[in-house]
Amino acid sequence: MLAIAAVLLAVAIALPRFLTHTPYQRLGASISSGVVERVIGPPAMGRLEAGDMLVALDGQEFADPAFRDSLKARGWPREALQLTVERRGELRTLDIPPVRLTAWERLRIYAYPIAAVIAAPIVAFLLVWRRPDLATAWVFLWFAALQGLSVVWGLYQFPQDVPGPTLRWALRLHEWLAWLYPASFVHFMSVFPRARWSRGRRRESVWFWLTLAAYAAPAILWAVYARGGRPPADAVYNAYQAVALSIGIFSLLERYSRSGPDWNPATHQRALAVFASFSLLTSATLTLVASNPRFMPLLPDATARFLITGIAIAMLSAPFVFAYLIAGDPLFDPRRLIVNGLPYALLSGVLATIYLAVVLGGQRTFASITGEQALVFNVVAALVLAFAFAPLRERVQLAIDRVYGRDPVALQRALDQAGRDLLGAFDETEVRAAVERGLQQGLRRPLAVTWAADASPEIAADEVLADGDRAAVGGLLRQAGIRMENLRLAEERAAAERSAVELREAATRAELRALQAQVQPHFLFNALNALAYLIETDAGAAQRFTERLADMLRYTVEAGKRPAALLSDEIAFVEDYLGVARERYEQKLEFSYEGDPSLLSSTVPPLLLQPLVENSLKHGLAPEASALTMRLRARCEQGWLELEFADDGSPNGTNAPGLSVGLDNLEQRVRRFAGPDAVLESGRAARAARGGDGAGREGFVVRMRWPVSTGGIR
């Protein structure tokens, strides 16, 4: 309510002067040494021309020094007057009516600065609305309101009529507030973006005393330079404003040119601060230039328009820059405003081209054929633009978003991938790496994230994100927090059950060592006998045999040190194992893998396949068989990884005690690896294939399933 009241009060104070005063003197023309330099507006517009020389006013000649002094002292008559001018060597008598400008004419002449002074209080009001807790936001509202009042006071100086007593008091209040504008600028720069002094230690800050001096300066200047109730001359106010402006800009530049323990603005913030100081400087300069009718005629029309437009853009941008630097709110982010506004700027040119092409091209073609003009093409062009606007706008916006790294589709794709990577993270370092990698790929820039010890990570307070991007990133950070919490709970459970875990690990290592002991003695003995035979008969085969044997033994030794192994490594071990075994057995031994190649990166218990291959060779390979075929199938469905190992060997040995014990041990290892939900099933499997000896063969199959989240794909 206070913010609304402040804005409405500023409008109420400025409105009477805007409605009763004009932005130029009586004639509406710029006159120097009796010669019209430039026609500004009514009543001169349409009557006087540049180059006209004033000869007489109501019959009194301008050549008379006494008349000129009298006119300068009392001003131009407000009623209708008769003006004699010399134009291109001819005398002309012109009737000049009283000047009566409409509200639109008053606004149109200085539309740019008026728009700027209206925009500043609105932006300041929005900032207070969103961040009423910031004292600097309230000072910004105070400064913006006084700036608007000061600009209106400087632009509309010349009354159309003699004001009454009430209006004179309102104008006097307006003038007093306009004199406070330079002081409010020093005040605002002293607390921007935060106050230079802390509560209870104001007297120790030089900027606090400069602010007090700035507010005291108007009263002192009025006491010294005011005469007869009239305010000090414009030169006094301009000097006071120049000093205050210099102090304020120095304060701003000094603030953003240094760094400290509690103050380290980013490079883009420093650049925005310099831009803001330039905007304020040009704003004050424009006010002084606009109040001097002798300066603008010196500039060519194109230069004047370019200068005024550039200054107006800077003035319109400055409030957003101030609000952004004060609160860091994305609503005022200049980059965001530019990015969101670019599609409309580009579309303006595209749609104008389409419109002209349809209207001009259609009308000319129609006229060349029929000899008549038709306005229907305007309607057609409007319909074409209506249908073309939406898809063109979406495509242009998407292209710009991609350039600036704000493509929502790409961001969501990167965050989804980061979420999948989180499932495979085993510690906090991997969680952080997955999150940072996803944010870098999605936003195309690093994003500062605060990692709390016992809470979900959060976006750093000084980071600016669009609302949609912030929600998507927040979802990923919550997912990371849940993953870290699960890891912490797992660590706590592990600490509470350390003795049981150590026993289970000891049992697992014992099983692996038993497997190694089972694999190495008799198999190594037979392998060395086979190697000795190959050395005498086939040196090349002996070399290949030795390499396979070394790889196999190396893998069995290292497996006891690993909590998990890749399925691809297990298959490679089986290939080495069978390569050595083929030298022992006369039958043909074959092994194949069937499944998605991506599943080869799945994690499985170490030496998972070796007991199955060993049992197939021991219990399924009958002496009369000519071959033994083993197959491993892998698939992943609905979050479960399933492995099926099968052979087409003889069923005679499937009920052997040794096999049952081996499968029980294997089932326990699988459950220790993947959790209690893991399943191991085994049994005979009928097959349609026929062995080399022509007899029907059944074979044996072992199926293992466990959830991917506990032990599946990396």
- Smallest CA-to-CA distance from 153 within 251, 268, 246, 290 is with 290
Q: Which residue has the higher pLDDT, 318 or 595?
A: 595
Q: Are residues 490 and 598 in the same domain?
A: no
Domain for residue 624, yes or no? yes
The tokens for 144 are 């913006």
Residue 187, amino acid = H
Domain for residue 184, yes or no? yes
- Smallest CA-to-CA distance from 144 within 131, 130, 128, 156 is with 128
Per residue in 423-470, pLDDT (tens digit) is 778 788 888 888 888 888 777 777 888 887 777 788 887 676 766 677
CA distance 425 to 353: 54
Domain finish residue from 496, 525, 546:
496
- Least confident range from 241-245, 478-482, 507-511, 597-601: namely 507-511
Q: Are residues 671 and 569 in the same domain?
A: yes
Distances (CA, A) of 504 to 461, 507, 548, 668: 46, 5, 32, 10
Q: Determine how many CB atoms are found less than 10 A away from the CB of residue 457.
A: 19
Q: Are residues 479 and 530 in the same domain?
A: no
- pLDDT of 190 above 50: yes
Per-residue pLDDT, 512: 53
User: For the chain, what is the radius of gyration of the CA atoms?
Assistant: 44
Q: Are residues 257 and 118 in the same domain?
A: yes
DSSP code for 29: E
Domain for residue 12, yes or no? no
Q: Are residues 537 and 486 in the same domain?
A: no
Domain for residue 610, yes or no? yes
The tokens for 692 are 């080399």
- pLDDT of 499 above 70: no
Domain finish residue from 481, 496, 511:
496
The tokens for 557 are 């030794």
Domain for residue 207, yes or no? yes
pTM of the model: 0.49
Helix (H) or strand (E) holding 606: none
Q: Are residues 490 and 504 in the same domain?
A: no
Per residue in 108-145, pLDDT (tens digit) is 777 767 777 788 888 888 888 888 888 889 999 999 89
DSSP result, 505-517: HHHHHHHHHHHHH
Using CB atoms within 10 Å of the CB of residue 17, give its burial: 0 to 12 exposed, 13 to 18 middle, 19+ buried. Answer: buried
- pLDDT, mean of residues 231-245: 85
Q: Are residues 533 and 611 in the same domain?
A: yes
Domain for residue 20, yes or no? no
Q: How confident is the model at residue 688 (pLDDT cuts 50, 70, 90)?
A: very low
Domain for residue 672, yes or no? yes
- Smallest CA-to-CA distance from 549 within 518, 571, 517, 582 is with 582
Q: Are residues 274 and 388 in the same domain?
A: no
- pLDDT, mean of residues 602-607: 87
CATH number at 87 reads 2.30.42.60
- Smallest CA-to-CA distance from 241 within 292, 188, 184, 190 is with 184
- Rounded to the nearest 10°, the torsion over CA 343, 346, 348, 350 is -120
- Smallest CA-to-CA distance from 25 within 13, 37, 43 is with 43
Q: How confident is the model at residue 643 (pLDDT cuts 50, 70, 90)?
A: very high
Overall number of domains in the chain: 5
Helix (H, G, I), strand (E, B) or coil at 31: strand
380-387: long-range contacts, CB 8 A cutoff, minimum separation 24: 381/354, 381/355, 382/355, 384/354, 384/355, 384/358, 385/351, 385/354, 385/355
DSSP result, 49-104: -TT-EEEEETTEETT-HHHHHHHHHH-S-SS-EEEEEEETTEEEEEEEPPP---HH
The tokens for 163 are 């004001």
Domain containing residue 194: 109-331
Helix (H, G, I), strand (E, B) or coil at 391: helix
Q: Are residues 291 and 359 in the same domain?
A: no
Per-residue pLDDT, 658: 46
Q: Are residues 462 and 516 in the same domain?
A: no
CATH number at 586 reads 3.30.565.10
Domain for residue 559, yes or no? yes
Q: Are residues 486 and 504 in the same domain?
A: no
Q: Are residues 322 and 361 in the same domain?
A: no
Query: pLDDT averaged over the chain?
Result: 78
Q: CA angle 402-406-412, nearest 5°? A: 105
- pLDDT of 633 above 90: yes
Q: Which residue has the higher pLDDT, 366 or 620?
A: 620
Domain finish residue from 279, 310, 331:
331
